[in-house]
Amino acid sequence: MLGNFIYHNPTKLYFGKDAVNSLKDELKNYGDNVLLVYGGGSVKKNGIYDKITEIFKECGKNVAEVAGVMPNPTYEKLLEGVKIAKQHNTDFILAVGGGSVCDYSKAVSVSVHCDEDPWDKYFIRFEEPSCEIVPVGCVLTMAGTGSEMNGGSVITNHEAKLKIGHVFGDDVMPKFSILDPVYTMTLPKYQMCAGIYDIMNHICEQYFSGEDDNTSDYISEGLMRSLITSSRAAVKDPQDYEARSNIMWTATWALNTLVSRGKTTDWMVHMLGQAVGAYTDATHGMTLAAVSLPYYRYIMPYGLKKFARFAVNVWGVSPDGKTDEQLANAGLDAMESWMKEMGLVMKISELGATQDMIEGIADATIILDGGYKVLDRGEIVDILKASF
């Protein structure tokens, strides 16, 4: 049964080749002082930066920049962006990059006019903004997080050794996002595959929870099947537009508030992965890949029916003559071979985690109760050890 829910996603999307040409029309809706936010320079190498600045010029915008937003954007960087945004009297923020740049721009948008410390308010106390929010638009260059159509913003505080995400409401979600699959074609394979696993895991986090028959889970199964097919094609030929466009669209639907409607969700792989990220600064999707199988194999007995269904409906495992347990195992085996095929990192030790970090990572792992088994701290330590 589906529980009661509200579904409202205010983000407008422009999808496809040359979708950036719509930026001109969108910019008319906002004031002249624009803050352009981007990462470590990929947008300069692949020409996206030139294209965007040309559009700004045509529209007569007065542009300030925040460059160098790092993967896993930090609290210090957030404060730097807030300062620049204030000095510029920013009317509108344009994020051009991957999830980190989009997440970061949302964090700046709720902090520019905030009188309190944004880390404490949003990432420790999880409060909603009570100040004016600067509108954000995105030009996405990497498929994975779904940040282009959600309210999520993940910030890392190295001093506190915490990486924490706040899912903000409708007012903080991007006003529009521009998704041109061609823009993702310059991604290094490592990042492309990390993004692919991030997408897969977003769907799993929402799928592996609850026993009810509901439409959201059927949508999730379709999304996963599309992703498996298109990821194989993209690994074979990174310039395959069909594959890259399907991956990009799947990423958006995987985490734009749709497939969680009316059901419970898990999110423990992300809690573990984020804690690993706080200690290693490793690539988000790889932190998830490294903890996933030990986690799923551990909780499988508590959600056996769903894991058996996953094997059949997602991985095409034949149910003939198999018990639910055999099926469930076969499904996870199929996922494991696909993960290896994608070249994902399967151990946290390969991401820079060391044995002496385990207790700290366990402490930094937020325990949620929506999955098939509520973990205690000892179980978290065991899963982290099994991920080594």
Which residues contribute to the site for ligand NZQ (CB under 6 A)?
A: 39-43, 46, 71-72, 97-101, 103, 141-142, 144-147, 150, 152, 154, 165, 183-184, 186-187, 191, 195, 198, 255, 270, 284-285
What is the closest distance, in whole angstroms, from the C-beta atom of residue 69 to ligand NZQ in the complex?
7
The CB-nearest residue to Zn ion is 198
Handedness of CA 140, 270, 218, 194 (dihedral sign): positive
Cα gap 59→20, rounded to integer Å = 14
Cβ contact 255:145 at 8 Å: yes
Residue 147 interacts with which of Zn ion, ligand NZQ, none, CB < 5 to 8 Å by class: ligand NZQ
User: CB-wise, 201 or 216, nearer to ligand NZQ?
Assistant: 201
154: partner contacted, choices ligand NZQ, Zn ion, none (Cβ within 5-8 A by kind): ligand NZQ
Tell me how far apart the alpha carbons of residues 365 and 378 are, in angstroms, rounded to a whole number.
12
Q: Could you give the CA distance from residue 65 to residue 81 in angstroms, rounded to a whole number?
A: 9
Q: How far is the CB of 284 from Zn ion (least distance, A)?
A: 6
- Residue 37's binding partner out of Zn ion, ligand NZQ, none, with CB under 5 to 8 Å set by partner kind: none
Q: Please, are residues 259 and 223 in contact by the beta-carbon 8 Å criterion?
A: yes
* Residue with Cβ nearer ligand NZQ (166 or 263): 166
- Quick one: 137 or 195, whose CB is closer to ligand NZQ? 195
DSSP 10-22: --EEEESTTGGGG
Task: Pick what 255 binds: Zn ion, ligand NZQ, none; C-beta below 5 to 8 Å, kind-dependent.
Answer: ligand NZQ
Q: Which of 6, 347, 374, 377 is nearest to 169 (CA)?
A: 6
Which residues are near Zn ion by CB under 5 A? 198
Select 111 or 147, whichever has its Cβ closest to ligand NZQ. Answer: 147
3-state secondary structure of 162: strand
Residue 103 interacts with which of ligand NZQ, Zn ion, none, CB < 5 to 8 Å by class: ligand NZQ
| 71 touches, from Zn ion, ligand NZQ, none (C-beta below 5 to 8 Å by class) | ligand NZQ
Provide, rounded to whole angstroms, the least separation between the CB of residue 58 and ligand NZQ. Answer: 23
Closest distance to ligand NZQ from the beta carbon of 305 (Å): 26
For helices 99-111 and 75-87, angle between their N-to-C axes, nearest 10 degrees: 60
Instruction: For residue 110, give both structure tokens.
Output: 């709720």
Please choose which of Zn ion, ligand NZQ, none residue 138 contacts, taking the beta carbon within 5 to 8 angstroms, the exact cut-off set by kind.
none
The overall longest dimension of the chain from CA atoms, in Å, is 68
List the 62-66 sheet strands across, edge first. 12-15, 176-179, 136-140, 92-97, 33-38, 62-66
Hey, which bits of the chain come out as E strands?
Answer: 12-15, 33-38, 62-66, 92-97, 136-140, 152-157, 162-167, 176-179
We find the least distance from the C-beta atom of residue 320 to ligand NZQ, in angstroms, to be 37
Nearer to ligand NZQ (CB atom), residue 46 or residue 326: 46
Tokens of 81: 């962006």
The nearest distance, CB 115 to ligand NZQ, in angstroms, is 25
Comparison of 216 and 257: residue with beta carbon closer to ligand NZQ: 257
**CB-hemisphere CA count at 13 Å for 327?**
22
Find the shortest distance in angstroms from Cβ 72 to ligand NZQ.
4
Q: How far is the CB of 150 from ligand NZQ (least distance, A)?
A: 5
User: Phi/psi at 363 (nearest 5 deg)?
Assistant: -65, -35
* Pick 135 or 195: Cβ nearer Zn ion: 195
- HSE-CB for 111 with a 13 A CA cutoff: 26
Kindly tell me which of 56 and 190 has the beta carbon lying closer to ligand NZQ.
190
Pick what 129 binds: Zn ion, ligand NZQ, none; C-beta below 5 to 8 Å, kind-dependent: none
